[in-house]
Amino acid sequence: MEALRCESLTKTYQGGGVPVHALRDVSLSFAQGSFTAVTGKSGSGKSTLLHLLSGLDRPTSGSVIYQEHDLARYNDNQLSVLRRRRFGFVFQSYNLVRELTARENILLPVMLDGRKPDEGHLNRIIEVLGIGDRLSHLPGAMSGGQQQRVCIARALANKPAILFADEPTGNLDGKTGREVLTLMRTVSQELGITMILVTHDLGVAEQAERIIRLEDGQVADDSGEGEDSITASGGNFIESEISRNKRSPQCGVAPIETAGVIP
């Protein structure tokens, strides 16, 4: 089943009068539960692709389709609800709120959504990530690896359908980076989360099932091309939302259509 796809995705930045073609006519499909690495030289369009796929930015043309819904049809508010409930993000810079403890940072997206955390799920993530003894610490009192693990826990706290990661191990030493990546994969696999990971590091990329290489804003190589990943979604978004809510009532997830995400 398909988790996400983009069709003819194009992004042109108008910088100082000279247009920058960051992404040109990119069409990709990501299978549910798959783990894809996006590689390419600096400036090849990796972050741009990730920002568009995750609804953090809007394309110049082309579309991003999540569960048969074109993200272009969502207004900014609907998009932020969708992102908070369905997508998780891990960036190279840790982006933790410095005044909040690790635990408060992890819970922030769930709280912002006015929901109760699923304690069993949280405890499992905290255990796998090995940050149980750091929960009352402020980010400033944690190492880079520990902060990144807190970011991963925060991204997974909502049980996202898709985890987007942009150079999540870029600021860590090789060994810590590999450990963090392994943890991210372990939790994602357990939960059936689709992972899309941007990395310069070929050693990191090789751990993925599929490697996409961008060059100059276009797909230069795609190891998953021609595979069964380009299948139409059999799922109905609203039905899956409702059954998902029934499955995890402790999360108290309001059906997404009542939040106005479905126009």
- Which residues of the shown chain bind ligand ATP in the complex (CB under 6 A)? 13, 15, 20, 22, 40, 42-48, 200
Distance in Å from the first CA to the final CA of the chain? 24
Residue 169 touches Mg ion, criterion: CB under 5 A: no
Residue 249 and residue 261: Cα distance in Å, rounded?
20
Interface residue with Mg ion, options 29, 44, 47, 101 (CB under 5 A): 47
Residue 62: phi and psi, rounded to 5, are 90, 180
Extended beta strands in the chain, E state: 2-15, 18-31, 35-40, 61-66, 69-70, 87-91, 162-166, 194-198, 210-215, 218-222
Nearest-approach distance from CB 50 to ligand ATP, in angstroms = 8
Question: Which of these, 169, 229, 165, lies nearest to 203 by C-alpha position?
Answer: 169
Binding segment for Mg ion (CB under 5 A), chosen from 13-21, 43-51, 93-101, 152-160, is: 43-51
Nearest-approach distance from CB 54 to Mg ion, in angstroms = 13
Question: Which of these, 186, 227, 181, 226, lies nearest to 205 by C-alpha position?
Answer: 181
Give the tokens for residue 114.
Answer: 């006015």
Binding segment for Mg ion (CB under 5 A), chosen from 45-53, 61-69, 150-158, 241-249, is: 45-53
Rank residues 46 and 115 by Cβ distance to ligand ATP and give the closer one. 46
Give the tokens for residue 213.
Answer: 């290489």
Rank residues 48 and 146 by Cβ distance to ligand ATP and give the closer one. 48
Nearest-approach distance from CB 46 to Mg ion, in angstroms = 5
Rank residues 56 and 100 by Cβ distance to ligand ATP and give the closer one. 56
Rank residues 166 and 179 by Cβ distance to Mg ion and give the closer one. 166
Positions that interact with Mg ion (CB under 5 A):
47
